Structure formats: structure tokens, C-alpha cells
Amino acid sequence: MQSILESIGDGVFSVDKHFIITSYNPALEKITGYSLKEALGKPCYEIFKSSLCQSECPVVQVIKENKRIFNKQAYFIHKTGRRIPVSITVSPIKDPLGRLIGAVETVRDLSEICILRKELNKSYKLCDIISKSPLIDRIFKVLPDIAESESTVLITGESGTGKDIFARAIHDLSPRKKGPFVTVNCAAIPDTLLESELFGYKAGAFTDAKKDKPGRFALANGGTLFLDEIGEIPLPLQAKLLRAIETKEFEPLGASKPEKVDVRIIAATNQDLEILVKEGRFRQDLYYRINVVRIHLPPLRERREDIPLLAEHFIKKFRASKGKEIIGISEDALKILMDYDFPGNVRELENIIEYCFIVCKEGLIYPEHLPDYLKKDTLIIPEEKASFSIPKTLQEIEKEAILQALKRNKWRKMATCRELGISKDTLRRKLKKYGLQNMGAK
Ligand SMILES: Nc1ncnc2c1ncn2[C@@H]1O[C@H](COP(=O)(O)OP(=O)(O)OP(=O)(O)O)[C@@H](O)[C@H]1O
């Protein structure tokens, strides 16, 4: 018996009816820091200083009730003052006549399990951003310092990678957090309206201008102005934007003098601005002015470790908003997501989970609840198959042509427009018409 007690990894000790330690194995020396010599003959509460000693001592319960206690979680205080999480099991000891003479307790050190559990449950969260990718962690580490500074920030990354929530996080972590956070999606506003949207206008500036209308620059005063899809700003307006950023002054349409403004600029783009500069479609001076601090968000396919985490996050989000008891995703369904390339990035994953909430009733999300295009690539219809398929309406053909062009151009709207030979406004209208706004592109 002695050899067994000396060789096992769990701690084992026994006490008599007065809680005096009568045996104590070597594993316990490691767990508590007290040697056999120090422990023997002492009351157990002096050596273990367990979280249970004062209120619900399991040895007292065992002696009183004469039955075993299994795997009770507690912590001991190590000789050095460290808290050691443990799981304990206590059994009564009886003499040959069946009379209770004490108790034996086995102790399992849970320190390593607790560290692993903490690691697994680590929230990987900054503001509303969820990620466990080392690539994003590098950004998390510098984001508070970037936020603290007043520098202009340029966030780059494919559509749906999270540029918007990173911009918001920078604002929320900055000294301007109590001020407004104003977004302008430069691609969503027709070119002709963008100037008045940014800088506002004065009554009488044009026929319909009945009264003054403040622009987004003025609305963002004291806060942050987020210029999303900045690559879409037409060239003539780029010069005015540059002047507003540099001088912190702007002129509303029809105004006779400039207005002062205190805004911090964050810009974002899913285009390669350097190429646009080379092609003469983006002013070099404006590019240098906004490219002071650069944050590049990698596409989801380059941080696949985020897929399960984000899927769970969106399941929680939709469970709360849609009130459906969907508790998670099955391994098979997750495997399909892990194998998919997500051209629409995190937004596409969010849309997929939202779709699953329509199809799945409750419990786990299984492969049959996922959209079909994930299981077989139905998005692109091979030409030979398409030519034998049932005749389609013109509208269906147009929708397919747009989808294919978007996919070929990695959901970049400008490139798609160029390939299809249509304007930005036309593409926007058609995406809306066919309900495709959320398919990878806004
Ligand atoms: N790391 C993340 N954690 C939690 N939610 C995320 C994360 N990244 C993106 N999202 C969510 O995904 C969706 C798309 O993100 P967002 O709008 O920020 O992308 P974007 O890069 O700005 O897209 P676009 O270029 O099309 O404007 C949003 O609902 C956002 O909240």
C-alpha cells in the first residue's frame, strides 16, 4: 500500500476523527509545498488551507454522513501563497468492526487543466472584434496606441474583412470616443452628390437648397470621420478632400468663407491605391496624406482559425436577435466552412450563418442547413452545362453574368464595372435589384 501511495501522481492523505493528518504521500508535497515531516500530526486545515475548510469541509461531511464525496472542486493555498485548483474525493475509513475512525482524501491538481481551459476560453476580443489569428493579434497589440494618436489611418483589405469595425474600434479606443463617429461610404453615394454629402451646402446654393444642410465633415466635428471605399472618390473631389484634411477647413457649397472643423480621418479601401495612383485615378498627394498609419486586414482564408470562432460568435448573435434555440455547428458543417475560401470574407460567413437560422429549426447546424453553393460550386455555371440548361429569362442571364464577373474580380466593384462596361451607379442598382448587395460586396 505504501509503495502504491508513493508512486501515484495524485495526492493522498488520511486524517483521524479529529482531522489530524495520519498519512501523506509524496505527490502532496508537490501540490501543497509542505513535506511529510511538516504535515504529519498537524490538523489538515493548517496544511491545505482549502477554500472549503471554513464552511463546507468535505471531511466533516464524510464523517458526519458516513458516505463518499466525489470530485469536489476547490483550491488549496500552496506554502508559497499560490492558489492551487484541485478536485478532491473523500471516503470514510472504518475499523474492522465498521466504526468510523477517520477519512482518506485523494487530491488531483487541476492547475494545468485550468491553464488549458483558460487558453481555450480566452475571449480573443477587442471592442467588438473577435479573432484568435496571430495576424490580427499583431494589430490588436498596436490598435490602442494607434487610437491614442491623432494620425490619419488607412485600413486596407478585401470586402468584408472587417474594415468598418476596426475603424469603429479605433474611434472607441481614442480620446474622441465621446464625439461622433460618422461614416461615408464613398461608393454608395452617386458622384454628383458626394461633394454636398461631405461638405454640406448653404441655402440657395442650388434650386432645391431651401435651407443649410451640414455635411458629414461638420457632423463629425469633435469625433471621427470614416471614409469607406475612399478609392471611389472622383478625382476633382479628391483635391477638395485633401485640402479639408490638411487645413481642417472646408467650404460648404454656396458658402462665402471656409468653416473650421476638428475631425480625425480614418479611410478604408479594398482597392490597391498604389495602382490607382499609377493609373492616374487617385491623387498621389492624397494617397500620401491618408497613408500615415496603415492597417492591412488579411482575408478570412488566410486566418482560417477564426472561422469556428466567428461562426460561434454569429450563432450567439443571431440566437439572441432571432430567438431560435440553435446552439452550435456540427463538425461536418464546420468542415465545409473550413474548406471554403470565403471571397466575401467575414460578411459572407455572417450571411451564411443568418441563412442557417432560416433553414435550421433548433439544435446544431448540419451540412444540409448550409447554402447549396458551399457544397457544390453552383455560383459559376460551367459554359457547356449552361448551354444545355433550361432556357432562362434575360434577367436571370444578367444576374448570373454579374455574379460571375464579381467572383472573377474578387468582389471588387470597380473592376467588375470595367469588365462589364457599366457604371458604378448601374452596378449598384442591379445588385440591389437582384438582392446581391450582401454577396461579398456591399
Ligand atoms: N473580426 C470580426 N469579429 C466580429 N465580427 C466581424 C469581424 N470582422 C468582420 N465582422 C463583421 O462582418 C461584417 C462585415 O464587416 P465590415 O463591414 O467591417 O467589413 P468591411 O471590410 O468594412 O467591408 P466593405 O469593404 O465591404 O465595406 C460586419 O457585420 C462586421 O461586424
Report the complex ipTM: 0.98
Question: For residue 119, what pLDDT is reported?
Answer: 65
Question: For residue 440, what pLDDT is reported?
Answer: 62
Is 105 within 8 Å of 88 (Cβ atoms)?
A: yes
Choosing among 1.10.10.60, 1.10.357.10, 1.20.1730.10, 3.10.20.600, the CATH entry for 383-433 is 1.10.10.60
CATH level 3 topology of 131-296: Rossmann fold (3.40.50)
Question: For residue 391, what pLDDT is reported?
Answer: 46
Write the CA distances from 196 to 103, 176, 193, 252, integer angstroms.
82, 25, 6, 7
CATH architecture of 2-116: 2-Layer Sandwich (3.30)
Pocket test for ligand 1, best of 132, 183, 347 (most atoms within 8 A of CB): 347
CA of 424 to the centre of ligand 1 (A): 22
Question: For residue 389, what pLDDT is reported?
Answer: 43
Q: Which pTM does this prediction carry?
A: 0.64
Is 224 within 8 Å of 174 (Cβ atoms)?
A: yes
Give me the average pLDDT of each 10-residue run along the chain (442 residues).
82 93 94 94 91 82 85 87 90 90 92 73 77 92 93 94 95 95 92 90 80 93 96 93 93 88 95 93 95 95 94 92 87 93 93 93 90 66 41 71 82 81 82 75 40
Q: Where are the domains of the chain?
A: 2-116, 131-296, 302-375, 383-433
Q: Sign of the CA dihedral 217, 222, 227, 228?
A: negative
How far, in Å, CA of 313 to CA of 15, rounded? 49
Write the CA distances from 127 to 166, 185, 313, integer angstroms.
9, 22, 14
Q: Whose CA is nearest to atom 23 of ligand 1?
A: 160
Question: For residue 121, what pLDDT is reported?
Answer: 57
- Cβ neighbours of residue 307 under 8 Å, at least 6 residues apart? 300, 334, 337, 338, 342, 349
How far, in Å, CA of 159 to CA of 431, rounded? 15
Q: Is the CB of 350 under 6 A from ligand 1?
A: yes
Cα 335 to chain centroid distance, Å, stands at 20
Task: Could you list the beta-strand ranges (E) of 157-307.
Answer: 181-185, 200-201, 213-214, 224-228, 249-250, 259-260, 264-269, 293-296
Q: Is the CB of 165 under 6 A from ligand 1?
A: yes
Question: For residue 362, what pLDDT is reported?
Answer: 84
Choosing among 3.40.50.10440, 2.60.120.620, 1.10.8.60, 1.10.8.80, the CATH entry for 302-375 is 1.10.8.60
CA of 344 to the centre of ligand 1 (A): 10
